[in-house]
């Protein structure tokens, strides 16, 4: 039993004539007759009483007509649901790093909704490992995140911005007036560090170790805003991505030398076909310009 056969049955129940039903459905009359015969054979019951060329729904046919209408509506409901998921206005499941919450995500979402006002988003925040895991398990469509690296396969990634790393120090700190700071210059400093679960921690620790700099960890956090705030009140210094907007006067960002940076962009699975809405979002986002800053 398929949708086309159900449509034949419902049309016959309205026209009560195979010729008229064939004309409405734009098929041969013999196709209508065969479809009805297959349906009655599958159901094990006659659905019409024959009066010459005229067909009249019998008791079984009238009862089945109610179910056939419900089945047709189910087919249409399924198509509508899929259009919502995969069409140009399908919901985009977007993940992002916490550090991108205030500057990148509002810009990407806002500019896309400006072009496509009916678009919808489901947002989810996490660490890089979480975001890639959610994409892999089909819990996310796309994520604003660092590049996947050689160990992660099955992902596409498009660069959007490169953030220079800086040394964040309290205003009035001896390093605040320097033109640049090296990792070795941080030896002996109180340090507000990223949590060990974060990707930036895996970048900064080797950098300090390679320079022979030993710092005193005053606090660890996964949130850039928390680290920046603690630097501002004098708890220690830190290494942070250069901010998109000027910080309050409590924190000074001194360029790190040699220059180091982290690159951010959009990642997605190459193992699944992208819904139309996600593909449109990726194409639109590639046109965004962040002026090399985060």
Please, which pLDDT band fits residue 294 given cuts at 50, 70 and 90?
A: very low
The pLDDT assigned to 34 comes to 94
Work out the percent of the chain whose per-residue pLDDT is above 90: 74
Burial (CB count within 10 angstroms: exposed 0-12, middle 13-18, buried 19+), residue 164: middle
Helices 18-25 and 29-43, interaxial angle, to 10°?
Answer: 110
Architecture of domain 162-262: 3-Layer(aba) Sandwich (3.40)
Evaluate whether 187 touches 208 at the Cβ level (below 8 Å).
no
The pLDDT assigned to 88 comes to 61
CATH class, domain 3-86, is: mainly alpha
Burial (CB count within 10 angstroms: exposed 0-12, middle 13-18, buried 19+), residue 60: middle
In this predicted structure, the answer to whether residue 233 has a pLDDT above a threshold of 90 is yes
Token pair belonging to 35: 């479809």
Distance CA 62, CA 102 (A): 60
In this predicted model, what pLDDT tens digit does every residue of 156-197 receive, in sequence order? 999 999 989 999 999 999 999 999 999 999 999 999 999 998
Distance CA 179, CA 236 (A): 19
The pLDDT assigned to 90 comes to 79
Bridge partners (DSSP) of residue 262 are 163
φ, ψ dihedrals at 244, nearest 5°: -70, -35
The pLDDT assigned to 87 comes to 61
In this predicted structure, the answer to whether residue 293 has a pLDDT above a threshold of 50 is no
Provide CATH 1.10.10.10 ranges for the chain. Answer: 3-86
Evaluate whether 60 touches 46 at the Cβ level (below 8 Å).
yes
Q: What is the mean pLDDT of the segment spanning 106-124?
A: 92
Q: Which of 226, 201, 230, 225 is nearest to 294 (CA)?
A: 225
- Domain 92-160+263-285, CATH number (from 3.40.50.10800, 3.30.70.260, 3.40.190.10, 3.30.2290.10): 3.40.190.10
Provide CATH 3.40.190.10 ranges for the chain. Answer: 92-160+263-285, 162-262
In this predicted structure, the answer to whether residue 116 has a pLDDT above a threshold of 50 is yes
In this predicted structure, the answer to whether residue 291 has a pLDDT above a threshold of 60 is no
Distance CA 90, CA 93 (A): 9
CA of residue 68 relative to chain centroid, distance: 37
In this predicted structure, the answer to whether residue 292 has a pLDDT above a threshold of 60 is no
Tokens 């919502």 locate to 84
The pLDDT assigned to 185 comes to 97
In this predicted model, what pLDDT tens digit does every residue of 52-110 receive, in sequence order? 889 999 999 999 999 999 999 998 888 777 766 666 667 899 999 988 888 889 999 99
In this predicted structure, the answer to whether residue 288 has a pLDDT above a threshold of 60 is yes
Q: Which of 5, 17, 30, 23 is nearest to 57 (CA)?
A: 17
The pLDDT assigned to 86 comes to 63
The pLDDT assigned to 245 comes to 66
CB count within 10 Å of CB 276 equals: 15
φ, ψ dihedrals at 212, nearest 5°: 75, 20
Q: Which of 224, 232, 169, 226 is nearest to 200 (CA)?
A: 224
Token pair belonging to 163: 């953030």
In this predicted model, what pLDDT tens digit does every residue of 128-143 receive, in sequence order? 999 999 999 999 999 9
CB count within 10 Å of CB 49 equals: 12
In this predicted structure, the answer to whether residue 247 has a pLDDT above a threshold of 70 is no
Q: What is the mean pLDDT of the segment spanning 23-48?
A: 94
Q: Where are the alpha helices (DSSP H) in 87-198?
A: 104-115, 128-136
Distance CA 128, CA 97 (A): 7
């Amino acid at each position: 039993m398929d949708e086309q056969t159900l449509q034949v049955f419902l049309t016959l129940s309205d026209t009560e004539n195979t010729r008229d039903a064939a004309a409405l459905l734009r098929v041969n009359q013999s196709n209508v007759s065969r479809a009805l015969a297959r349906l009655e054979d599958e159901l094990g019951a006659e659905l019409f009483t024959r009066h010459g060329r005229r067909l009249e729904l019998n008791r079984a046919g009238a009862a089945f007509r109610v179910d056939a209408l419900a089945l047709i509506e189910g087919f249409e409901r399924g198509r509508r649901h899929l259009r919502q998921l995969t069409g140009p206005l399908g919901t985009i499941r977007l993940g992002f790093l916490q550090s991108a919450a205030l500057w990148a995500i509002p810009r990407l979402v806002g500019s896309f909704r400006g072009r496509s006002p009916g678009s919808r988003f489901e947002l989810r925040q996490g660490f890089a490992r979480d975001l890639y895991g959610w994409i892999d398990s089909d819990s996310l469509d796309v994520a604003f995140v660092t590049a996947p690296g050689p160990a992660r396969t099955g992902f596409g990634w498009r660069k959007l911005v490169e953030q220079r790393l800086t040394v964040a120090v309290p205003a009035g700190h001896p390093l605040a007036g320097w033109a640049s700071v090296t990792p070795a210059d941080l030896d002996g400093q109180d340090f507000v560090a990223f949590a060990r679960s974060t990707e930036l921690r895996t970048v900064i620790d080797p950098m300090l170790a390679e320079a022979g700099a030993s710092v005193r960890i005053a606090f660890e956090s996964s949130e850039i805003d928390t680290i920046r705030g603690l630097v501002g009140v004098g708890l220690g210094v830190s290494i942070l991505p250069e901010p998109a907007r000027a910080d309050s006067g409590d924190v000074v960002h001194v360029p790190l030398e040699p220059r180091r940076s982290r690159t951010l962009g959009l990642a997605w699975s190459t193992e699944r076909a992208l819904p139309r809405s996600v593909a449109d979002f990726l194409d639109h986002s590639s046109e965004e310009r962040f002026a090399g800053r985060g």
